[in-house]
Amino acid sequence: MSKPYTRLDKNDVAVLLVDHQTGLLSLVRDIDPDKFKNNVLALADIASYFKLPTVLTTSFENGPNGPLVPELKAQFPDAPYIPRPGQINAWDNEDFVKAVKATGKKQLLIAGVVTEVCVAFPALSALAEGFDVFVVTDASGTFNDVTRQAAWDRMSAAGAQLMSWFGVACELHRDWRNDIEGLGTLFSNHIPDYRNLITSYAQLTQGK
């Protein structure tokens, strides 16, 4: 009666980045801003590195919610970009769903702001349509721990798998030998402790 192990397959994954907008980000208080920024950019780098089709969407970006953070816009210049005219659940926007389905992928990585709305609503809708949904929990933010825990419970109970960006990268890559340097660089750029390990190692082995 348990959830079966649906494993991320880089050939069957699309990434949905929902409402990482400059105004909405001021609402996020369950993760420290330095760490949260890093987590979101790490997920973006994963999408780029594994060449995963990525769909961007925003809510009212000309209003107080603010524009998409420029780093994401710049990193995915050719990705479908759906500024929603009003739908709060991105899945209620036909263009968004079309863009998702156009990727032809069955596994969806979803992250966004705020977790219980911009992430949970499309996650629940996608699950209802039979997609495999993986929530990138640490690239999603919300008001506080209480709202996060409630959102996680709702999504998990509906069948979503809760992951973190590091787990996503590892499950997609599967074997370091596929590209040691590529994955190492990704980790070095987003995990200070890992970067330190690599620097110490390099000094001792290459410094000679």
Min CB(146)–its own copies separation in Å: 5
Q: Answer whether the bond into residue 119 is a cis peptide, omega within 30°.
A: no
Q: Residue type at 149? A: Q
Min CB(154)–its own copies separation in Å: 5
Residue 118 appears among annotated catalytic residues: yes
Nearer to its own copies, 77 or 85 (CB): 85
Min CB(32)–its own copies separation in Å: 6
Of 118, 155, 160, 168, which is the active-site residue? 118
First-to-last CA distance in the chain? 56
Where does residue 104 fall: left (phi above 0), alpha (psi -120 to 50 degrees), or beta otherwise?
A: left
Min CB(4)–its own copies separation in Å: 7
Whole-number Å distance between alpha carbons of 135 and 165: 9
Nearer to its own copies, 23 or 80 (CB): 23
Min CB(51)–its own copies separation in Å: 19
Helix (H, G, I), strand (E, B) or coil at 154: helix
Helix (H, G, I), strand (E, B) or coil at 187: helix
Whole-number Å distance between alpha carbons of 96 and 146: 29
Quick one: tokens of 122? 């499309």
Nearer to its own copies, 11 or 199 (CB): 199
Is-contact 123 133, C-beta < 8 A?
A: yes
Whole-number Å distance between alpha carbons of 21 and 85: 15
Please, what is the Cα angle at 150 between 145 and 151, to 5 degrees?
95
Q: Which residues are catalytic?
A: 118
